[in-house]
Structure 1
């Protein structure tokens, strides 16, 4: 389809606003229930820094309840952003047509399924890092690598969430031109994240730059390229 019908725009707008309200309320409640963890997770000084900073969240176990909760919130936020990018797209590949809801209930269901899928991908990501961390003899750096990646992801996705929410609330629809801008921003972010993680691992002074680069090629660059290839082929 070349353009969205007025009825589709109205439906997608209602779905997007409802999900955004759920997420905003969840963020507000999280700020009250986990104040220290919330401040550590959404610490933008980590996003702009190329040095490892030890804070409240640094010593938190990766599979603790708090970490699982905030990872789930990250997954829900990513799913919301992705749903907006695809849902309001005027032309969508046939294999992604399932992501476009036919009614309000299916829209919420698709968002929940995407959230679960992203959460599972994060688990697979950690297991993948653990496997290759052992292969590259980097066992002590695996958890630090994962934590730093998630710290960057949390801040960046929060900005994307804010952008999508403000756009929907101000325009009541998602401009198609903004999709290209956001996708370009995501690519730039992934490159920045790679560089950021490289310097933070090098800061540990345990391995050479070439060794760390080879490790990141295997654990970051290759999976990202494959993911984009599968998604946009």
Structure 2
């Protein structure tokens, strides 16, 4: 069964380290953030860095700066009750202070004792979302004062014992199949890049949909009339490896297409899979050449020698375009949607069947335009070289 492509080993190690470190720090942070009387509250927010003081020079409240605002006895902050509904406002100081809310004196605050104020009650009492709190007293800096927002720890909560095994992030092991998919895609990418640089004009024609749908009865190009030219053989070989890669993906889901398992070596190692891939590519390449020989024999029997090369070229051209799209689709699916690979045989059955039907129609119109052949002979020829192999292939594939 196939799985999504994995990351390089060093990336997996780095991610594992970061996750492990984060979990450890998170575990420590939860314990240290218990605050308030008897450590009975979770810390929600600390106003340690939000203090403001009144500056006579600017005639306004400015952020408190320890080095500049010395010997101040009044410290203020803006408090948003809407953001902390259901929580408590916690105060603690070792020195005596008075609490002012919106410039109105409320109460004298005790020393060395936690004061807990209900935030919802403050909002209801003053009817405002934002309150301006001022603490005035014998403090000369904010370090001696603590103002925090906390959430009461429920008495029914139980501590969760986390074992070391739960904190251990075990990296997901990459299977040999995932490595093969990566190596196979890299191999195909190199093949396509090599062909593009070696014969850019031929490459442009082989993978041109416009050229595929164009029927030129006087086509003298070498890629059509010289099928055994080295350049053309390389394109056929490239198509063979593309088909072999698709075969290997289907085989990964334990589906034995055309009983190819009889010629493949057993084993799930990367070396075995890649050697089977190369072997399948060579077998398909030989079958591609055998198809041309069969076409040559049958066109000679039907006295249609002039259509052999065009027929074969259209077959290779159409197959190259279609199965390249299939490989791109499977490559994206292997990374982002691995469930597609798991049902690949069901997903590809209908598109491939439609493709062969459309290819048959294309070849029919191509031959019909190139030669004055009666429909009876044309249907007979196409049934032998295209329809019957297709039906037999589907029968053995299923």
TM bin (shorter chain)? 0.7 to 0.9
The residue number in structure 2 matching 1:182 is 348
**CA–CA separation in structure 2 for the residues paired with 1:135 and 1:22:** 40
TM-score normalised per structure 1 = 0.86
CA distance in 2, matches of 1:31, 1:94: 32
Aligned partners of 2:245 and 2:295: how far apart in 1?
Answer: 26
Structure 2 vs 1, CA of residues 127 and 11 (structure 1 numbering), >3 Å: closer, same or farther?
A: same
Distance in 1 (CA, whole Å) between partners of 2:241 and 2:370 is 32
| Equivalent residue for 1:42, pick from 186, 201, 207 | 207
Q: Which has the higher contact order (CA 8 A, sep 6+)?
A: 1
Count how many residue pairs are aligned between Structure 1 and Structure 2: 228
2:23 is equivalent to residue 23 of structure 1: no
Gaps of 5+ in 2: 5-171
Instruction: Tell me, yes or no, if structure 1 residue 147 matches structure 2 residue 277.
Output: no
Match of 2:324 among 137, 154, 158: 158
Whether the 8 Å contact between 2:188 and 2:242 is mirrored in structure 1 is: yes
Give every structure 1 segment of 4 or more consecutive aligned residues whose post-TM-superposition deviation is greater than 3 Å: 3-9, 50-60, 90-101, 171-174
Change (3 A) 1:173 1:52: farther
**Residues 7-31 of structure 1 deviation map (CA, whole Å, 9 limit, x = unaligned):** 9982212111110111112212221
Cα distance in 1 for residues equivalent to 2:378 and 2:322: 24
Work out the CA distance in 2 between the residues paired with 1:219 and 1:22: 32
Q: 1:105 to 1:51 in 2, by over 3 A?
A: same
Structure 1 residues 84 and 57 mapped into 2: Cα distance closer, same or farther (>3 Å)? farther
Q: Deviations over 1:45-103 (max 9, x none)?
A: 234x263484856545110010011110000001001111121x155589555657421
TM-score by length of 2: 0.52
Aligned to 1:204: 370
Looking at structure 1, the residues matched to 224 and 186 of structure 2 have their Cα atoms a distance apart, in angstroms, of 32
CA RMSD for the aligned pairs?
A: 2.8
Q: Measure, in 1, the Cα distance between the counterparts of 2:286 and 2:173.
A: 30
1:5 Cα deviation from its structure 2 partner: 9.5
